[in-house]
């Protein structure tokens, strides 16, 4: 299984357990909850465009 990391294997196992334990009807609810969580994280992350770590604009060269 080249290229398949342990994270992917764990994710597949969790999905199989959820499908067989709770039934396939819970997958849309699970997907919705996961989507809301990801959206919440993205909304609360600062934009990288607002960070000015170099002191120059993207289109300008720094003065020498």
Q: How confident is the model at residue 62 (pLDDT cuts 50, 70, 90)?
A: low
- The pTM assigned to this predicted structure is 0.44
* pLDDT > 80? residue 51: no
Mean pLDDT of 23-49: 85
DSSP per-residue codes, 7-48: HHHHHHHHHHHHHHHH-GGGHHHHHHHHHHHHHHHHHHSPPT
* pLDDT > 80? residue 5: yes
- Distance separating alpha carbons of residues 6 and 52, to the nearest angstrom: 37
Looking at residue 53, its pLDDT comes to 55
- Distance separating alpha carbons of residues 16 and 24, to the nearest angstrom: 10
Residue 63 is given by DSSP the state P
Looking at residue 43, its pLDDT comes to 92
């Amino acid at each position: 299984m080249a290229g398949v990391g342990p994270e992917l294997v764990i994710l597949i196992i969790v999905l199989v357990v959820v499908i067989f334990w709770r039934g396939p009807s819970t997958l849309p609810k699970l997907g919705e909850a996961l989507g809301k969580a990801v959206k919440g994280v993205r909304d609360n992350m600062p934009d990288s465009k607002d960070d000015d770590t170099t002191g120059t604009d993207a289109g300008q060269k720094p003065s020498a």
